Structure formats: C-alpha cells, structure tokens
Amino acid sequence: MADDAILAHGLTKNYGKLVAVDHVEMAVPRGSRFGLLGPNGAGKTTIIKMLTGLAPITEGTASVAGYDVARDPMNVKKRVGWVAAEVILDDDLSGWENLWLQAQLQRLSDWKGRAQQLLEYFELADRKKDKVGTYSTGMRKKMEIALALLHQPEVIFMDEPTIGLDPNVRRMLWGLITGVNREFDVTILLTSHYIEEADALCDRVAIIDHGKFVATGTPAELKSRVKADFVELETSEAVTEERLAAIAGVSNVRSQGNTWILRVSSAEEVLPRLFHALKTDGIRRINVEKPSLESVFIDITGKRLDQGSGDVQDYRKFYMNLRRARQ
Ligand SMILES: Nc1ncnc2c1ncn2[C@@H]1O[C@H](COP(=O)(O)OP(=O)(O)O)[C@@H](O)[C@H]1O
Ligand SMILES: [Mg+2]
C-alpha cells in the first residue's frame, strides 16, 4: 500500500546454513517510528541491510519509499538515510565541510540551504566552522543525523543509535529522534536492544529473536498481553523445579543458566511464600519484572532480553520500595 514507507513479505536472509532473518512480515506506515527490539544476533542489522540494498535478499520481497528493493535499489538509496553506530564523521573537517562532503558523496547540487536549516535545527550553526573533532558526543550525534537528513530522505534507518552513550546523551537523542520524525516528516526505523528505548520512542515495536518476529504491536498493546509478573531468582543451594512450581501463585518455572525465572500472578503476594519456601539465606539475588516489554520477551522466549542491565535488587530494597509506594 502506498501509505506504507516500508513493506516486507516473507523477508528472509540466509548466511550459509544460518537463517539470520526468517520470513519477516512488516508494514511501517509513513511518518511513523518503528522499532526492532531484540538481543544481539537477532537479525536487526541484517534486516536494515536488506531494506537498504546493502545485502541481497535470499527470499521474499521488500519495498521502501514505494520502490522494490531488489528491482530498483537506486531509487531506494536516494530516499533513505542511515545512522549507524560506526562513526561516519570526519574529525579533521568542520561541521560545514562534513555536510559538503556528504553532498558530494550523494551528488547533491542544491544542498546549502538545507544544510544551513539542519545546522540551525540542531543548534550547531555557530559551531559549523569548527572541526568536528572538537564537538561533544551529543553534538556529534546531531551532526550524524544532520548528514543522514541532508538529501531529504523519506525513511531513516537508525541501527542501535544510542549504543554505548551515557544516559544523558541517550535521553537527549531520544528527544532528537522524536523531533526529527515530526519536523522533517520522515519515517524512522530503529533497532535497539534497550527495552526502555523502544518503549519511549516507537509507535510500534517488533520483538525479534533468532531472525523471527515473535510479537508486533504498540508498546501498550504488547505490555497488556502479559498479565503476570516475573521473578528472576538466583539461589545459593540447588533447588528443584518442582519445589518452585509448588509455591502458590507460581504459574511457570524456567531456568536460564543458574537463574530461575518464575511467572507469578503477583510478585507482592508470591514473594513472602517464596522466601518462606527457600529460606531467605538461600537467595543470592532476586529481581522483579513488572509488565514491560522485557516481560513480553520473557513470556515468549523464556529468557531475558536485557541481560544484566535489569534493575537488580535484593528483597529488602524491594520491600522498602513497596512500603514507600504505599505511604
Ligand atoms: N556477513 C555475515 N556472514 C555470516 N553471518 C552473518 C553475517 N552478518 C550477520 N551474520 C549473522 O547473522 C545473525 C544476525 O546478525 P545481525 O543482523 O547482525 O544481528 P543484530 O543486529 O540483531 O545483532 C547473527 O547470528 C550473525 O552472526
Ligand atoms: Mg546489529
């Protein structure tokens, strides 16, 4: 349909025997922000590479900005921009010179007005003659996005745009991404393995694991599907699955390495029973996941997406927070 900036049917990529992207269906409306959320190796970058014509499609079809990616790659390339984690700025050139270089690479003749407009939008105009090497991380990010916008693309692909950034710059970039989407009327497809990022930025999210879309919807829709809490648990002594499953309120028990993941009706109700059953001394680490995109991922795949970055808390802290919330 013409109202979709990105359309894919049965999109598949094989690298030898590995199926990196496995029959993906996607329809991204023009002007929207779509997120591919999944762990490392899930196939996010490969999808972008196929959609931008950088990697041949093994099977299936895709069109971007109204053009078939396999049959008409030049028309696609003219209409898309790409912001990737790899640095694309030339530190020895000024901001303006970087824009000039980008214009040469894309064979743009009439670019100066647009370049100036972008510099003003990103509040870089007064630094345009300074070498990019002297810019802060936030300014560099703005410059990268300005370069991607120079040829007035209809679709921008952002591959893990905030990976490795400190939280302040990340938040700043979130604001920028939403702003660019509205101000320049550009469709954004971004990939992330940060739960909060997909939640905060995207109108729709596809959760991807091992090359497959395992769930698609608005963040709110996805979260409302999970009517349970998850308790992640590490114990100092061996515990059997039966013993955990026998606790009232526990509806599912899975293990990931030496960690247990329990699906429970309500963490507040089940935790006291859990402490009683296991004796608090036997619990090395405990983490509660309330309905979130993380719990959607856990529910479907049985494992955590955001390995290690979850709010790890001990049960005393958890209760302290609960008590505080109730006052
Ligand atoms: N050029 C390549 N050759 C062989 N395997 C690849 C290549 N690129 C990616 N892969 C594999 O395809 C899978 C998906 O990779 P990728 O799309 O980079 O995942 P993500 O971006 O979600 O981290 C991984 O198993 C990865 O090792
Ligand atoms: Mg990637």
* Most informative mutation of 12, 13, 15 for ligand 1 (most atoms within 8 A of CB): 15
Query: Is the CB of 42 within 6 Å of ligand 1?
Result: yes
Looking at residue 283, what is its pLDDT? 86
DSSP 8-state code for residue 257: T
Handedness of CA 123, 129, 132, 135 (dihedral sign): negative
User: Quick one: CATH architecture of 226-326?
Assistant: 2-Layer Sandwich (3.30)
Looking at residue 314, what is its pLDDT? 46
The CATH number, out of the four listed (3.40.50.300, 3.30.470.20, 3.40.50.2000, 3.30.1330.60), of the domain defined by the range 4-223 = 3.40.50.300
Name the residue at shortest CA distance from atom 16 of ligand 1: 43
Name the residue at shortest CA distance from atom 3 of ligand 1: 15
Ligand number nearest to the C-alpha of 49: 1
pTM of the shown model:
0.84
Domain boundaries, given as residue ranges, for the chain: 4-223, 226-326
DSSP 270-324: HHHHHHHHH-GGGEEEEEEE-SSHHHHHHHHHSS-SSTTTS--B-HHHHHHHHHH
Token pair for residue 206? 């596809």
Phi-psi region of 239 (alpha: psi -120 to 50; beta: other; left: phi over 0): beta
Which amino acid, 215? A
Looking at residue 317, what is its pLDDT? 52
Looking at residue 319, what is its pLDDT? 53
pLDDT digits (tens, 9 = 90+) for 215-226: 999 999 998 888
* Most informative mutation of 21, 24, 46, 57 for ligand 1 (most atoms within 8 A of CB): 46
Sheet holding 259-264, edge to edge: 250-256, 259-264, 229-235, 283-289
- List, for the chain, all residue ranges whose pLDDT scores fall below the cut of 50: 1, 308-314, 326-327
Angle at 261 between CA 258 and CA 267, to 5 degrees: 135
Neighbours of 182 (CB within 10 A): 10
* Most informative mutation of 24, 45, 193, 213 for ligand 1 (most atoms within 8 A of CB): 45
Which ligand 1 atom sits closest to the C-alpha of 211? 14
Looking at residue 245, what is its pLDDT? 93
Q: How far apart are CA 74 and CA 77, in angstroms?
A: 5
Strands 18-29 and 33-37: unpaired
Query: Is the CB of 24 within 6 Å of ligand 1?
Result: no
Name the residue at shortest CA distance from atom 5 of ligand 1: 15
SS3 of residue 123 by DSSP: coil
Looking at residue 327, what is its pLDDT? 47
